[in-house]
Chain A
Amino acid sequence: QEHLVESGGGLVKPGGSLRLSCAASGFTFSDHYMSWIRQAPGRGLEWVSYITGSANSIHYAESVKGRFTISRDNAKNSLYLQMNSLRAEDTAVYYCASGVRGAFDIWGQGTLVTVSS
């Protein structure tokens, strides 16, 4: 059974940092591209970042470029999102998602990040 589990969310002050993790199981992790997608309270879905299976191509939304860094460790079947200089508008549930055919076939349950003083 294909499974993604996020962790690392929590309450952080504006300007602070947080590192999210996503553990994958039940599929060949290195064959899948991965993304972080977030959803602010009561709002729609917003794509944040993308990384290919071999990590040779990475993309970011303009809203997080220069502040967030996506990475992966295929030996550990894990995806990461290092978030620095956090702002109130980064408050959201962060989902990791994966696929092989362009869309996102597998989603985690999400982890809540709250940026507040």
Chain B
Amino acid sequence: DIQMTQSPSSLSASVGDRVTITCRASQGISTWLAWYQQKPGKAPKSLIYTAYSLQSGVPSRFSGSGSGTDFTLTISSLQPEDFGTYYCQQYRSYPLTFGGGTKVEIK
């Protein structure tokens, strides 16, 4: 199985800050990686697919990069509505696996 490791597990940042979340795969997954945002009590929302492609309707302050084993999700200017938990997910092979999540809090 491919293990997905996210860091940090949580962070607190101010509005306007640049925020970076990293995701590492235990083996190469090319760009078969997605990012999701989940707010408390809500279903996850798709942000990015194939490592860097922005889902329709997602603000351009979100961006993704990386390939192989190392990936990043960047929020260029953190907004109040960006709080929540972010998950990466690989779809290179089964079983599909998620990272443990990164909880983002607004200072």
User: Do the beta carbons of A50 and B55 come within 8 Å of each other?
Assistant: no
Q: Does A73 contact B (CB under 8 A)?
A: no
Given contacts A45-B87, A47-B95, A59-B94, whether A101 and B49 have CB atoms under 8 Å apart is yes
B91 on the A face (CB < 8 A): yes
Given contacts A35-B96, A44-B98, A47-B97, contact A104 B46 (CB under 8 A): yes
| Structural contact, A103 and B43, CB atoms closer than 8 A | no
Please determine whether B94 and A46 come into contact, CB atoms closer than 8 angstroms: no
Chain A 84-117: CB-based contact to B (< 8 A → 1; otherwise 0): 0000000000010101011111111110000000
Q: Interface extent on B, as a size class? A: 20 to 34
In the bound complex, residues from chain B placing their C-beta under 8 Å from that of A109 are 42-43
In the bound complex, residues from chain B placing their C-beta under 8 Å from that of A107 are 43-46
Cβ-Cβ contact count across A and B, 8 Å cutoff: 62
A residues near B101, Cβ cutoff 8 Å: 44-45
- In the complex, chain B residues whose CB is within 8 Å of the CB of A46: 98
Is A105 in contact with B94, judged by CB distance below 8 angstroms? Answer: no
Most buried by A among B32, B34, B55: B34
Residues on B with beta carbons closer than 8 Å to the beta carbon of A47? 89, 95-98
B49 lies within 8 A of A44 (CB): no
Assign chain A's interface to a size class. Answer: 20 to 34
Cα A76 to Cα B96 with chains together (Å): 27
| Residues from chain A with Cβ under 8 Å of B45 in the complex | 107
A101 vs B91: C-alpha distance when bound (angstroms): 10
Complex Cα distance A47/B1, Å? Answer: 12
Chain A neighbourhood of B38, CB < 8 A? 45
A101–B49 Cα distance when bound, in Å, is: 8
B98 touches A110 (CB 8 A): no
Tell me if A103 and B95 are in contact (CB < 8 A).
Answer: no
Q: Which of B43, B50, B97, B100 contacts A110 (CB 8 A)?
A: B43
B95 touches A105 (CB 8 A): no
Q: Which residues of A contact B36 (CB under 8 A)?
A: 45, 104
Count chain B CB atoms within 10 A of each CB in A46, A101, A103 and give the residue with the most: A103
